[in-house]
Amino acid sequence: MNKESMNSINHSDNNPFKDLFEHAPVGYIIIDDNFQIIMANHAATSMLNCEKETLEGSNLINLIHPDFQDGFYAYAKNVLETEKIHYSEMRFTHCRYHFLDTRIQSIKESDKSSGEKRIRIAIFDITERKNIEKSLKRFRAAIDSSADNIFLIDFKTKKIIDVNESACLNLGFAREEIQVLKPVDINNKYSDEFIDNSLSDAFDSKTGQDFNFETKHKRRDGTIIDVEVFIKCTHIDEEKIIVAVARDISERKKNQKQLAAYAKELKELNNSKDKFLSIISHDLRGPFLGIKGYTQLLIEDYDVMGKDEIMDYLNIIHESTRDLYTLVDNLLKWSRLELGKIPYEPMIFNLSDEIEPIVKLMAGIAAKKEISLKNSIRNGTLPYADKLMLISVVQNLLSNAIKFTRSGGEVILNSYQENGWVIIEVKDNGIGIQPEVIDKLFSLDKDYASKGTAGEKGTGFGLLIAREMVAKMGGEIWAESEPGKGSVFSFRIHSSDSHHE
């Protein structure tokens, strides 16, 4: 179309819609089938940042961003071939080299005088919307790249309305699945009522503030993870929205437990050291002083002492030597257990056959105090354990029972099987144990070592060794007692039924 034709269109007094076209708030341009701009209104010239005289007569393709030009050719072809309105998004390059993102609406029309095909294009500036969309995409990319689980929760419905990619991956749900859940559906610790009240408190105008707490989240597969949740309350489009950021702290919790275990182990090691030093300084020293004192008296007064007096001194020296040997033997056993030097050789054996010799030995010791020792171990009881360790534990418990049983009393050794375990009991009707002492019997606290009913001395090492050996065999030891009525010491070890080669 030539310049004269364009001028006649632009200045025709016969066009009643000229003013509407020129002053419409929407940008309008009319192009011919060669994409030459025939007309452009004020809004279009303003959007494209070009003078009207410059814009009209130029080719529209030159104003379209190179990335969109091929698309516009196909788009214009469709417009010219149909009678429908067509829509698309287009990026223009300003005359001053700026970009303009637009949404265009186009329809074919024909010049009444010449019959030439033309395209009328309405241009809507969507640059701001595009910038917002870019910002949202960047924001979405940022939260999706976060290792933390991020939830948006509608305060009114208490439903999760959006989550990031990490939340989906870590919990094992698709985004659409999470968006129909409530926090209580994935929270394995707090009730729905508690969560509702907490969120309401967060939005309270007087006391509301950001806060955090620890809880547990349940994955889709049912596994539980420890999380720390940070809550932020905000408003989006006047709607109350809760932003919850959940951080997986399972590894931290695991490390805390490990540190606590190390601290406990260190405390026990310190107690062991203190116990050892106490024994070296006191319990070992005592018998040596006794032996030294009585041997000194024998040497100095031998010529004037009678046979009975000499025998009394020798008996005292013998008892002191025996106590000293027992103490040293227990110290060696304990130190070897602590250092892992005692081999663990579990096997299946008949308990009654192996226990019988030790029962006969302990029965002789019990008889000296006029105490009855009864063996009720059932023949055919088959534990899976280290034979020497088990015998040592039984001997320690029998010795302990005899020690704290009065003359005329009774000690009973019994066993039974339950749920894959062999339970062995040593029961006495002795002096019993105070309730506050029960839980500390198997500790290293020397304050709880006490003398027997006949003045027998002890260090508490026997029970400590029993505990260590039972633990080595994968079992458990415990005590029940009533002051004045007696005690029952029990331990359990694996039975042959629970052992699989």
Orientation angle between helical segments 351-368 and 387-403, nearest 10 degrees: 30
Mean pLDDT value of segment 448-453: 63
Q: Which long-range CB contacts under 8 A does 153-159 form with residues at least 24 apart? A: 153/183, 153/199, 153/241, 153/242, 153/243, 153/244, 154/239, 154/240, 154/241, 154/242, 155/199, 155/203, 155/233, 155/239, 155/240, 155/241, 155/242, 156/239, 156/240, 158/182, 158/183, 158/195, 158/196, 158/199
Check whether 190 has a pLDDT greater than 80. no
Q: Give buried/exposed letters for 154-163 (b at 16+ CB in 10 A, else e).
A: bbeebbbbbb
Stated pTM of the model: 0.45
pLDDT tens figures, 13-27 = 455 567 788 888 899
Check whether 28 has a pLDDT greater than 70. yes
Mean pLDDT over the full length of the chain: 84
Q: How far apart are CA 340 and CA 327, in angstroms?
A: 20
496 vs 139, residue with greater confidence: 496
Q: Would the CA dihedral through 221, 223, 228, 231 be positive or negative?
A: positive
Check whether 148 has a pLDDT greater than 80. yes
pLDDT at residue 1 in the model: 47
Going from the C-alpha of 71 to that of each of 38, 59, 76, 345, the distances in angstroms are 21, 16, 9, 82
| Architecture of the domain defined by 346-498 | 2-Layer Sandwich (3.30)
Q: How far apart are CA 213 and CA 229, in angstroms?
A: 5
pLDDT tens figures, 354-376 = 999 889 988 988 898 899 999 99
Check whether 3 has a pLDDT greater than 50. no
Is the distance from CB of 121 to CB of 143 less than 8 angstroms?
A: no
pLDDT at residue 479 in the model: 94
pLDDT at residue 5 in the model: 46
Mean pLDDT value of segment 420-448: 82
pLDDT at residue 15 in the model: 59
Taking the domain 146-248, which CATH number applies?
Answer: 3.30.450.20
pLDDT at residue 416 in the model: 94
Mean pLDDT value of segment 64-74: 94
Share of the chain above pLDDT 70, in %: 85
Mean pLDDT value of segment 183-210: 70
Is the distance from CB of 166 to CB of 225 less than 8 angstroms?
A: no
Q: How far apart are CA 174 and CA 220, in angstroms?
A: 10
Q: Which two tokens stand for residue 400?
A: 């302990």
Check whether 282 has a pLDDT greater than 60. no
Return the CATH superfamily for domain 3-131.
PAS domain (3.30.450.20)
Q: How confident is the model at residue 377 (pLDDT cuts 50, 70, 90)?
A: very high
pLDDT at residue 171 in the model: 92
Going from the C-alpha of 161 to that of each of 50, 150, 257, 484, the distances in angstroms are 45, 11, 35, 67
Check whether 428 has a pLDDT greater than 90. yes
Check whether 10 has a pLDDT greater than 60. no
Check whether 284 has a pLDDT greater than 60. yes
pLDDT tens figures, 103-118 = 999 999 987 777 789 9
Lowest mean pLDDT among 51-55, 272-276, 354-358: 272-276
> Which of 428, 427, 400 lies closest to 415 in space, CA to CA?
427
Q: How far apart are CA 227 and CA 245, in angstroms?
A: 10
- Does the fold of domain 146-248 match that of domain 3-131? yes
Share of the chain above pLDDT 90, in %: 36
pLDDT at residue 96 in the model: 55
Q: Which two tokens stand for residue 332?
A: 């060696």
Q: Which two tokens stand for residue 207?
A: 């006391």
Q: Write down the residue that tokens 């005899």 correspond to.
A: 402
What does 345-387 look like in DSSP terms, one character per residue? -EEE--HHHHHHHHHHHHHHHHHHTT-EEEEEPPTT--BEEEH
Domain ranges of the chain: 3-131, 146-248, 284-339, 346-498
